[in-house]
Chains A and B, each alone.
Chain A
Amino acid sequence: MTSEASSFHMPRSWLWVIAYFAALAAMVADANLDLLRDPWNWMLKALVLVLVIPFLISSHRRAVEKGPPSPALDMFNFQVMAGVGALVLVLAISFSVYRALPPGAPWLWPLGLATAAPLLFLIWATGRYLIRETDEYLRHLMTMSALIGLAAVLVLATVWGSLENFGLAPHMRPWLLVPAFAVAYGIGRAWLEERER
Chain B
Amino acid sequence: MKNRLRVLRAEREWSQQQLADALGVSRQSVNAIETGKYDPSLPLAFRIADVFGLTIEEIFLRD
Q: Does B49 contact A (CB under 8 A)?
A: no
In the bound complex, do residue B36 and residue A1 qualify as a contact, i.e. CB atoms below 8 Å apart?
yes
Residues in A neighbouring B27, C-beta threshold 8 A? 66-67
Residues in A neighbouring B38, C-beta threshold 8 A? 137, 140
In the bound complex, do residue A196 and residue B26 qualify as a contact, i.e. CB atoms below 8 Å apart?
no
Q: List 25 A-B contacts (CB under 8 A).
A: A1-B1, A1-B2, A1-B36, A1-B63, A66-B28, A67-B20, A67-B26, A67-B27, A68-B26, A69-B26, A135-B25, A135-B29, A136-B25, A136-B29, A136-B40, A136-B41, A137-B25, A137-B26, A137-B28, A137-B40, A138-B26, A138-B28, A138-B29, A195-B37, A196-B37
Given A67-B17, A67-B27, A135-B25, the answer on whether A196 and B32 have CB atoms closer than 8 Å is: yes
Q: Does A7 contact B (CB under 8 A)?
A: no
Q: How far is the CB of B15 from chain A (nearest CB, A)?
A: 10
> What residues of chain B have their CB less than 8 Å away from a CB belonging to chain A?
1-2, 17, 20, 24-29, 31-33, 35-41, 44, 63
Q: How far is the CB of A64 from chain B (nearest CB, A)?
A: 11
Q: Does A70 contact B (CB under 8 A)?
A: yes
Bound complex: CA of A136 vs CA of B36, how far in Å?
15
Interface SS of chain B: helix, strand, loop or mixed? loop
The interface bits of chain A over 48-77 (1 if a CB of B lies within 8 angstroms of the residue's CB, else 0) are 000000000000000000111110000000
> What residues of chain A have their CB less than 8 Å away from a CB belonging to chain B?
1-2, 4, 66-70, 134-138, 140-141, 195-196
The 8 Å CB contact of B28, one of A4, A134, A196, is A196
Given A67-B26, A70-B26, A138-B26, the answer on whether A2 and B32 have CB atoms closer than 8 Å is: no
Q: List the A residue with the shortest CB-CB distance to B29.
A: A137
Residues in B neighbouring A66, C-beta threshold 8 A? 26-28
